[in-house]
Amino acid sequence: MTALLEVRGLSAHYGVIHALQGVDLDVGGEQVVALFGRNGVGKTTLVSAVMGMLRPTSGSVRFDGRELAGAPPHVIARAGIGLVPQGRRVFAALTVEENLGIAARAAAGDRAWTRERVYDLLPRLADRRRNRGHQLSGGEQQMLAIGRALLGNPRLLLLDEPSDGLAPRIVDDIVEVLAELRAEGIPALLVEQNLGMALRLADVVAIMTKGQIVYRATAAEFRADPETARTLLGVA
């Protein structure tokens, strides 16, 4: 399978801290890749570097054959990469409708994402469209963050800890939404601490330690190898 996103030898620093150390990672055009790792190993840093929020010091980020390493975030977003950030980062003082309006970008075609199409996918947002960001529950804020990313009409989603802080029932709702997006043909890089949630969606598993990808396998191979989870992630 040809990779839609190809990361090669990607390095990045926070001051003197070498946060990414030659990362190689692919996301195929029909894949959900789950990225696991203990806290502080570089997962969010990788997302930031791919998305242009942190400038790499070396390496390549190619998206559909186009080199994007070092490009600003708005260029990367327009190229077709959408971000659902850690912590949701919705505009607390703006309504749901206003949050979505800021993100909306014109696109042609019957399958282009519009606010009404987002509301069809996420009907709770339609019910709450006049509520402000600070009036939403954590799950509703996460849905809003997903809807906002979709309005950029992405061809790839980066999702950073979408289950963080959510009740199990709400996590199930998030999984259903992401499964529907996968069925729509939108691949994803899914950064998660919740292995059970991520493995319900993932085709491929990658694990980071100390700023490097040290393990990559199909989700089925990972499930059949519990020793890897124990050794690299510290879970039973």
What local confidence, expressed as pLDDT, does residue 230 receive? Answer: 84
**What gap in Å lies between CA 170 and CA 175, rounded to an integer?**
9
DSSP 70-116: T--HHHHHHHTEEEE-TT----TTSBHHHHHHHH-----STT---HH
**Structural domains of the chain, count:** 1
175-to-125, 168, 190 alpha-carbon distances in Å: 17, 10, 11
What local confidence, expressed as pLDDT, does residue 109 receive? Answer: 56
**What gap in Å lies between CA 113 and CA 154, rounded to an integer?**
9
List the pLDDT tens digit at each of the 236 positions of the chain.
578 999 999 999 988 889 899 999 999 888 999 999 988 899 999 999 999 999 999 999 999 999 999 999 999 999 999 999 988 888 899 999 998 988 776 555 567 888 899 999 999 999 999 999 999 999 899 999 999 999 999 999 999 999 988 889 899 999 999 999 998 889 999 999 999 999 999 999 999 999 999 999 999 999 998 888 888 887 65
Beta carbons of 26 and 134 less than 8 angstroms apart:
no
**Exposed (0-12), middle (13-18) or buried (19+): which is 15, by Cβ within 10 Å?**
exposed
Q: Residue 38: give its domain's CATH number.
A: 3.40.50.300
Q: Give the residue numbers spanning the domain of 222.
A: 3-233
In 3D space, the residue among 166, 217, 173 whose CA is nearest the CA of residue 31 turns out to be 217
In 3D space, the residue among 129, 223, 122 whose CA is nearest the CA of residue 178 turns out to be 122
Parallel, antiparallel, or unpaired: how do β-strands 58-63 and 66-67 relate? antiparallel
